[in-house]
Structure 1
Amino acid sequence: MTALASPPDTHTTAVPSRRTRRRRLSSVLGRLPGTAAVWLFTGFCLFAFAYMLLSSLKSSRDIVEHPWSLPTTLHIENWSTAWSDGGFGPAFMNSTALVVCAAVVTVAVAAPAAYVLGRRSGRLSSGLNVYFVLGLGIPMQVMVLPLYALMNRLELINSLVGLFTLYVVVSLPFTVFLLTSFFASLPAELEEAAALDGVSASMTFWRIMLPLARGGLVTATLLNAMSMWNETLLALMFIQTNDKFTLPLALLNYFQQQQFTGADFGALFAGASISILPMIGLYVWLGRRITEGITMGTGK
């Protein structure tokens, strides 16, 4: 009898060719410099952050004589000195109230404009989109003098209300640009169904479209809050008295005081920690949502 031929093995794994292996290897090697640079930068930032926190718990003498050693005695009083004597307490309250209100109001004002620009097509919408994009490219240094003349005429110099107004106005172009992509990605069938049910355009926005863009709204609010928390130029130009200082101004003012009264490096590092820790905590808590929000808006 003739032996039957065995069927071909359909589960045999194909061996990658030499050219394919070379491409994979070159792709991995090509990403190594960028990956190494990212990890080096991350390691440097973590080292600087740890050094700042540890130095805030050391005496000035230990910081000067043993800058790289761990603190043998925890000087918690550095934080209380910075909070009270350095003026970081009132500045923290000012920054918190200012940033929270300005970030929320900016998103509340930008959302309706972004909705209209994202859902309507035409020359007017395209022109307004370009107008907001151009607002992103104007350097802050160019706007300071005209803004100062305007705010002086309105008697809003050295006023937290005036600084709040500036933060909202300056942040609007970025916020509208960011939110436009979110509203443009929402399905048009929802608007059509709402119109068939007799829902007005304004109610469609507030009850249907705005909740669906919640991820973009949260992302825009957090990004604006981080930017406003670290803003220095406008605060330096428009705030003049210590009782209205924000945290960046309090840090600059305390650093200048230390140059004349004798450097208290422990309290200075504690003040810097007070300025930085809230935003680091916010990013650790909501960093994933920020990244997902930016990626989702960009992809759509």
Structure 2
Amino acid sequence: MTATADRTGARADRPVRVPPRKPKPAPVARGFHPLQALGKVVVWLFTALNAAVLYWLVTAAFKSPIEIFTKPFALPSYWFERGQPFRNLSYAWNNAGFGTAFLNTVLLVAAASVVIVLLSAPAAYALTRLGVRGADGLTNFLAIGMGIPFQTVVIPLFIGLAKVHLTDNLFGLFLVYVALSLPFTTFLLTGFFRSLPDELEEAAAIDGASPARTFFTIMLPLARGGLVTGLILNAISLWNETLLSIVFLNSNSTFTLARALFAFNSAATYQSEYGGLVAGVAIVVLPMLVLYVLLARRIITGLTLGAGK
């Protein structure tokens, strides 16, 4: 009984734990907030506007010119009643040269995006993991290069490519795309390689692996999310690029989609072929829009991871 009393007394002497105070909610979470409501209204209005534009683009691609101007938001009927629902798309694809331009764009964008990532990955790894002298300064130099508008270097690039006979040439445009996209992609990938643990490299060095083998077999697979993000962002950017293709491409056989659409604009306006013109816009816009919708989560996650580390 004495032992029991001692234990009971010891328990009684213990200080009573006070439960932690419930955290106060954030100021914005306390009911109605004017700025939060205004922000939601702006976001929803912007979303509704973009949805309306997308609806108009898709429906207008199947309409006659008269329907486009007189019934902008009605469903298409003219070409459907005549059994030619895809007439505008067929006209843009065959008569306006969008078929060849589509193939050129796919090959050019795919090749350029892959090469950009293949060159940027070793550069980012060297700047962040190999202890290169002046790595921080080089990284800042890349960031500065990202802020230079590429419009300022168009004339020197054109003169340089003209001297080696690479104007009006898809390979010449490929070189320009790769050169102008390397700073951004390298800067993006530095965040991913910097986030990887040092213990992996130390273990690989103890096992006798060279820096090159460590990069290709260990670090590169771990940075797969960053590589995919860089690949997707470059593909979207290069697919929609217009100015460089206008400057460097002149022949119909070398046109990209953006260049073919620019050339088709004048002819379609002169011929009142507005249905085919809108169909051409849809051919340019919709593939990348679908790609972004399907991979938006991966893109946002990749950018957040690279920036947060």
For residues 22 and 120 of structure 1, do their structure 2 counterparts lie closer, same or farther at Cα, with a shift above 3 Å needed?
Answer: closer
For residues 21 and 218 of structure 1, do their structure 2 counterparts lie closer, same or farther at Cα, with a shift above 3 Å needed?
Answer: closer
For residues 25 and 59 of structure 1, do their structure 2 counterparts lie closer, same or farther at Cα, with a shift above 3 Å needed?
Answer: same
The match for 1:291 is 300
Q: How far apart in 1 are the matches of 2:46 and 2:257?
A: 26
- Residue range with higher mean Cα deviation, 23-32 or 107-116: 23-32
Q: 1:219-234 alignment to 2 at 5 Å?
A: 219-234=229-244
Q: Secondary structure at the match of 2:74?
A: coil
Query: Max radius of gyration: which structure?
Result: 2
Q: Which has the higher contact order (CA 8 A, sep 6+)?
A: 1
The match for 1:69 is 74
User: Is it true that 1:130 corresponds to 2:154 in the alignment?
Assistant: no
1:201-232 CA-to-partner distances (Å, cap 9, x unmatched) read 10000000000000000000000000000001
Q: How far apart in 2 are the matches of 1:15 and 1:65?
A: 59
2:268/2:276 contact within 8 Å kept: no
Given candidates 36, 53, 62, the residue that maps to 1:31 is 36
The match for 1:116 is 126
Q: How far apart in 2 are the matches of 1:228 and 1:14?
A: 51
Q: 1:150-161 alignment to 2 at 5 Å?
A: 150-161=160-171
The match for 2:275 is 266
CA shift for structure 1 position 39 = 1.7
CA shift for structure 1 position 23 = 5.9
CA shift for structure 1 position 65 = 2.2
TM-score, normalising length from structure 2?
0.88
Identity of aligned pairs, percent? 45
Query: Gaps spanning 5+ residues in structure 2: where?
Result: 1-17
Return the letter of the residue paired with 1:48.
V
Number of residues of Structure 1 aligned to a counterpart in Structure 2: 287
The match for 2:62 is 57
CA shift for structure 1 position 197 = 0.3
Query: Gaps spanning 5+ residues in structure 1: where?
Result: 1-9
The match for 1:169 is 179
For residues 161 and 31 of structure 1, do their structure 2 counterparts lie closer, same or farther at Cα, with a shift above 3 Å needed?
Answer: same
Q: How far apart in 2 are the matches of 1:27 and 1:134?
A: 42
